Amino acid sequence: MKKTIIAPSLLSGDFSFAAEALREMEAAGADWVHLDIMDGNFVPDITFGSKMTADLRPHSKLPFDVHLMTADPGRHIDSFAKAGADYITFHLEAALHSHRLVMQIKARGVGAGISIVPSTPVSMLEPMLSCIDIVLVMTVNPGFGGQELIEMCVDKIKQLDELRAARGLNFKISADGGVNSSTAALIKNAGADVLITGSSFFNAKDRAEFVRTLRVQE
Ligand code: DX5
Ligand code: ZN
């Protein structure tokens, strides 16, 4: 059986102790660090940028999974690649030339991901599936932590899993938003490989136990 990747999001951590939050993720047995970049334009809130990401890089050995919730994502690719991102995911809805952006990311030696919001169908992504490393399915509307899973998005994970098998592709499917110990099984059974978890990770009393629970959910 494939190992599910658990990727806690710093978004729900205390930004004034961000390095400490990253150490807690690693100590809890998480696999990736998910970094939510919000620009106050594609989504209402603003989080942090490439300077913060570069400053955090020495504080964790885990891969940095950068999720750009920004307008004009092409402007940010080089700075986050330089900051030490292992994966950069941008939103299909924010990009005019997705293929060019994927090539730009890959040329920097970084894994390329594309995300779709709940209202965007999988069919919009189909031409790009053979060139990307990650499809990030937003299972809530982007912009905030702590929202409830939108169940119709789980069906998109299933569609992607089927397309992946039918076309012999090997991109990873990430689920982002409303992932917790009650929803993880549904999401994993639909075919997700990466579970991104913000509020439920930071709210867990025992974070190592929480990570173990998510991993073994069936
Ligand atoms: C939301 C972000 C998510 C967020 C998920 O726009 O992309 O990564 O951290 O938070 P939870 O797990 O609390 O839904
Ligand atoms: Zn995210």
* 60 touches ligand 1 (CB under 6 Å): no
How do residues 17-61 score in pLDDT, each as one tens digit?
999 999 999 999 999 999 999 999 999 999 999 999 999 999 999
User: Which one of the ligands is nearest to 198 CA?
Assistant: 1
For the entire predicted model, the pTM comes to 0.98
Tokens describing residue 105: 């990311």
Neighbours of 53 (CB within 10 A): 22
The per-residue pLDDT for 161 is 98
Ligand 2 centroid from CA 44, angstroms: 14
Ligand 1 centroid from CA 29, angstroms: 19
Q: Which residues of 131-145 are buried (b: 16+ CB within 10 A; e: fewer)?
A: ebbbbbbbbbebbbb
Give how many domains the chain has, as a whole number.
Answer: 1
Check pLDDT > 80 for residue 218.
no
Please tell me the residue having the least CA distance from ligand 1 atom 4. 145
* 197 touches ligand 1 (CB under 6 Å): yes
Tokens describing residue 207: 């974070």
How do residues 83-106 score in pLDDT, each as one tens digit?
999 999 999 999 999 999 999 999
User: Which one of the ligands is nearest to 210 CA?
Assistant: 1
The per-residue pLDDT for 157 is 98
Range of the domain at 70: 5-216
CB 94 within 8 A of CB 73: yes
CA 10/CA 6 separation, integer angstroms: 13
